[in-house]
Structure 1
């Protein structure tokens, strides 16, 4: 339990950045604060530090600032305590970051993503690296795709990291969100790593660099004992009780060789999920492990820089191939605001999303949005949802024998909903009648429940027995929300069928009857309405004059001059009412001027006023 100490002040230097917009990462464990942050006001000098701690051990440990290849403009993303073995002396702090790197004599710097680690019981060196890490190592994280020409395209900028817990606390699954550095090829990707592969790289060969003008190569010389980067442990060597007992050659080696030669690759060889040439980039990730009817799946919630959240599941196929299934794409905030943070509450089954515009709460499962049929629920392929016989509802693995219809791996409603007539009725769909005007545009809306469905449009023209598939062209444009028809023609009239296909299952989403009204007919209708309005005005005026004529004839004292004067006053009133607010405003101004004039006269001496 933490509480605020109101009697003491603690410096924030090397604990958090001076600028809140500078990225940093920290974690509190065993009373110590491990932080990756900027140590100067401009944010150029970056360091990974340990501070606070018990009263008897209250001093800083940090990375060596004199060696630029330790850290070079690092942007820290996440910090996590992860045990390596069952021996607590081997516990380490792993941190993930991106930094600038310069290879050889070239002046161009590239951005690389890294994973680093230090031992929790590191207290610095005795004669060298005093109050500096003596177990600091780092390795590169690779997230790339191969092109048709054999060249790899790298997603080098790490944006977020998430550790999915497993039954073994030593081996969480590491999920990372990466983006490209190129302004030409824009994209984002999610790569997944195992702790076993990360440890294997740290136990592998070291990298060596002769000078700043040389490239990193594999170190083939003698490696001192104990192996640099190893945590001091009584079980490992009783004579080495702390890092201050390390020999000088170990300290010198770790100072010049903190980089591992080999890189860490994803478990499937490439990205688990990617988005290329889209108008947004991925920024955040959280992952939930879900047990479904046909297996276990990791559901990813991905935040973007335009305020949307993607709900994605990656399904394993044959030969280590993965199928990307986007379950939902939700607009969380009214305006396009970058998502800065996401937190998962498994107890509440809620996702909390933060941006500069505010905080939002989203349920992990929204099964009711997948429709009211077994086929729609099955086609959604959402591990959270299953058909319970009446509706698409939350799936919970229980020992009850109640049948639940769910197929996440294949999404085949024919095998799951074969005995439910309403679900496999291919023509059961909403029917609507819409009208369009010739030479104008109209939009036929059709939004499938499943994100994976491919849409095809068919038309059955009036008098035809057969349907033909609509092919998009300059006049007929197919969008993700429906069909846009520009410059309607008379031949466009007919019944439109919007069909969704997923695997071998095809069903009709909506039927639309389009009636195209000829432009000439529309103009005649408008002309007739205009003439009808003029006739009504003439009739009203005739009735009014008829009343006037009757008044003249029935009143012998009512002369023609009086009638003309009455008509003149009526016309003046009509013009005055036509002026509306302007006339009222002038009248009010006139009244105010009159009142002010009278008041001024009253305030003058009587002699002057007269």
Structure 2
């Protein structure tokens, strides 16, 4: 028992360490309203619950199913979302009264549009909850108007749309036919997967309600695979095959064939091709993430087989140990097909227990074309619909795990990098209102950025990706948000562009900007896998420091005027949450006794003559170091001569942005560690150029001149700054005079001390009186006037007050005469 307890503790420790090591942190974060990530919003006071989204083929129109309305939004503009038209579809007062009489809240009785699908090039099909009495109607997408049925009334939506607006459902149209997964009764106890609007030789189909094919499911999504002629439904339900005390939730994938028309005698108007299997999102020796939240399909690369189609799903866990966490798993179509082609469990109708027994396999459940099979075959597939094996994720491992975020929706896109390699990019929507953009690599996932799209978490959301436009649309109860899928212009240098590891973005050396990788002709600066700046950026710059006795060029920095003994706080901007920030001084180290570096990157210290000077904040990420901020701390009362510097023309590196000019935005030039560059000789005579500091929206400090097109440079020698062309004659004269005065005072004091020693040998008194007593100083003169000396009040019974000192006068304990004078001392 002791060994088992120790083993359990070790397993828990290893699990905690694995979670900590696998923690994913977004590199850059954009809060709501951040200027670095521009979003377009649509909201209206009379429109709510814009959660059902349908994007047109050209990507210019977004159809939205909202509360009591269907909207047509113009999304062709990059910076705005404009409503073209609104189609009202509200229940009548009678319908609302009946809903209230059923015991439902008034706020839940409107018509919430939950199904919105294209039927053909001219019409859409919409279904809504309609005061807990589902209704469906056709929508003319050209005139944007409702088209009623021949009877003049909306169609009944039972089995096509849920009654409750909070119940999840799935719907997809294939060749004008509607396939849905929802509940078919008011109480929500009859789950069903069905086909509607059947055409040609097809008939409407549904599941057999008496077979228990579904166990309290929550439908998530559905997808059509044309090559298989199958529709796959994804949902979670209670796993009856597990004999647990508590209900154990499992994630499922179910399939039906689009060619299914039901059996002739057995399974009439019922699915003959229904089969389901478990999706197992689990790593070795870990508890499974068993509750599916969302799933998306990623088609295979061009030229690859259809079996390489991937399904990326978001999973959470019902176990308390994984509470608050989300995992992403990828499943391959080839593995799914292999599971459905394998053995199936058998349900004992008497005990309602599943078992795996060896028996003759009459048919393959889920195989298309079984509607023409014999009754014996149909009875076999009717009772054997649960696959014995589970679908395991690709690589038998989790794609990524977020220990502190719960994801709700996901979309995926395959992006080709500058080197021709394909990368998968996932856009994950969190329950806290953030959108995470992650790239999947061989070494693991990397979260490029996180964007806040909601101020408050939303209960029902939707996420749609437009690959042609390069944008995402997020639907919520607050409105619709448009998010560009790439943000290359945000990265101001080659180093930042490469460190982002965004397959969308690359550094263009010809124009020195970070732009979309597909628009770069050649030599794009990009390294998604390694993020190696030295290799991706051709011409490196070098970080501040002295090399072989020569000084590097260095900007003056932002001037900070302080008073002595004042607490100085220097802020350092955060270029990346994956970078480590630290502070340095020219040719000196920051002692922890004098300086305090906080976790937010700021530096705190007390202003003293020793702490005045320059301070440099450096950021190190993935082996690359760059400057983030430079400050010049000066004393307020000290004279500040006008800074003049020799301006030299600095050649621009092809891997870095051009020199910032006055009046234009720019960024602090990063430095790379490397050999010293040769500085070009000045081409023009030096002139006085005042240097100022400016800040951008990202709070990065950079330096520009008021005029001219050259950078101001300074030389550092032995840790002191020497501005070329500037003289210090006045300071030299003042220092020389002070030095002479100090030397004269020291010499005078030395001679006086020698003289005192000579006089003390002939003094008639044993005690050594002070200097004032010897020369008849102020204490003696006060005593002659009849006043008290500074020491008289401090003497009581031979004791001295204040350690024998008063007002800077040294007091002795020598007895005094009756007249108040020292005995044997001439007056």
Per the alignment, residue 348 of structure 2 pairs with 210
Taking the aligned partners of 2:426 and 2:328, their CA distance within structure 1 comes to: 10
Written as runs of structure 1 = structure 2, the 5 A alignment for 1:390-539 is: 390-397=511-518, 402-421=522-541, 424-425=542-543, 431-432=557-558, 444-448=571-575, 450=576, 453-458=578-583, 460=585, 465-467=588-590, 477-479=598-600, 482-483=601-602, 497-512=616-631
Distance 1:365 1:159, change over 3 A: same
- Report the CA distance between 1:145 and its aligned residue: 3.1
**How large is the RMSD of aligned CA atoms in angstroms?**
3.3
Taking the aligned partners of 1:333 and 1:199, their CA distance within structure 2 comes to: 39
Per the alignment, residue 434 of structure 2 pairs with 308
Per the normalisation by structure 2, the TM-score is 0.53
Conserved in 2, the CA contact under 8 Å of 1:478 and 1:484? no
Conserved in 2, the CA contact under 8 Å of 1:207 and 1:260? yes
- Report the CA distance between 1:459 and its aligned residue: 5.0
* Greater C-alpha Rg: 2
Taking the aligned partners of 2:330 and 2:496, their CA distance within structure 1 comes to: 30
> What per-residue deviation string (whole Å, max 9, x for no partner) do you get for residues 574-607 of structure 1?
xxxxxxxxxxxxxxxxxxxxxxxxxxxxxxxxxx
> What per-residue deviation string (whole Å, max 9, x for no partner) do you get for residues 118-151 of structure 1?
11121222333222111111111111234xxxx3
Distance 1:111 1:483, change over 3 A: farther
Residue aligned with 1:252, SS: helix
Per the alignment, residue 380 of structure 1 pairs with 500
Written as runs of structure 1 = structure 2, the 5 A alignment for 1:215-294 is: 216-224=354-362, 226-232=363-369, 243=371, 245-276=372-403, 278=404, 280-294=405-419
* Among candidates 306, 314, 326, match of residue 188 of structure 1: 326
* Structure 1: runs of 5 or more not aligned: 86-90, 233-241, 317-321, 518-610
Distance 1:104 1:395, change over 3 A: closer
Residue aligned with 1:250, SS: helix
Conserved in 2, the CA contact under 8 Å of 1:306 and 1:338? no
Per the alignment, residue 20 of structure 1 pairs with 165
Per the alignment, residue 114 of structure 1 pairs with 252
Residue aligned with 1:376, SS: helix
Conserved in 2, the CA contact under 8 Å of 1:458 and 1:470? no
- Report the CA distance between 1:510 and its aligned residue: 2.4
Written as runs of structure 1 = structure 2, the 5 A alignment for 1:561-572 is: none
Distance 1:15 1:490, change over 3 A: same
Taking the aligned partners of 2:215 and 2:274, their CA distance within structure 1 comes to: 14
Written as runs of structure 1 = structure 2, the 5 A alignment for 1:30-69 is: 30-54=175-199, 57=202, 59-68=203-212
Written as runs of structure 1 = structure 2, the 5 A alignment for 1:360-375 is: 360-371=481-492, 373-375=493-495
Conserved in 2, the CA contact under 8 Å of 1:377 and 1:385? yes
- Report the CA distance between 1:376 and its aligned residue: 1.4
Distance 1:299 1:209, change over 3 A: same
Per the alignment, residue 159 of structure 1 pairs with 293
Taking the aligned partners of 1:430 and 1:95, their CA distance within structure 2 comes to: 64
* Structure having greater relative contact order (Cα 8 Å, sep ≥ 6): 2
Taking the aligned partners of 1:212 and 1:251, their CA distance within structure 2 comes to: 20
Distance 1:436 1:109, change over 3 A: farther
- Report the CA distance between 1:346 and its aligned residue: 1.6
Taking the aligned partners of 2:555 and 2:412, their CA distance within structure 1 comes to: 36
Residue aligned with 2:580, SS: strand
Kindly indicate whether residue 127 of structure 2 is the aligned counterpart of residue 6 of structure 1: no
Residue aligned with 2:156, SS: coil
Conserved in 2, the CA contact under 8 Å of 1:385 and 1:393? yes
- Report the CA distance between 1:334 and its aligned residue: 3.3
Conserved in 2, the CA contact under 8 Å of 1:499 and 1:508? yes
Taking the aligned partners of 2:383 and 2:204, their CA distance within structure 1 comes to: 22
* Among candidates 450, 459, 463, match of residue 329 of structure 1: 450
Taking the aligned partners of 2:357 and 2:396, their CA distance within structure 1 comes to: 26
Per the alignment, residue 174 of structure 1 pairs with 311
- Report the CA distance between 1:300 and its aligned residue: 1.0
Judging by fraction of residues, say which structure has more helix: 1
- Report the CA distance between 1:217 and its aligned residue: 4.0
Conserved in 2, the CA contact under 8 Å of 1:32 and 1:51? yes
Per the normalisation by structure 1, the TM-score is 0.70
Per the alignment, residue 579 of structure 1 pairs with none
Per the alignment, residue 222 of structure 2 pairs with 79
- Report the CA distance between 1:60 and its aligned residue: 2.9
> What per-residue deviation string (whole Å, max 9, x for no partner) do you get for residues 516-550 of structure 1?
99xxxxxxxxxxxxxxxxxxxxxxxxxxxxxxxxx
Residue aligned with 2:455, SS: coil
Residue aligned with 1:268, SS: helix
Conserved in 1, the CA contact under 8 Å of 2:473 and 2:483? yes
Taking the aligned partners of 1:184 and 1:80, their CA distance within structure 2 comes to: 32
Count of aligned positions: 474
Kindly indicate whether residue 486 of structure 2 is the aligned counterpart of residue 355 of structure 1: no
Conserved in 2, the CA contact under 8 Å of 1:327 and 1:380? yes
Residue aligned with 1:124, SS: coil
Taking the aligned partners of 2:393 and 2:190, their CA distance within structure 1 comes to: 30
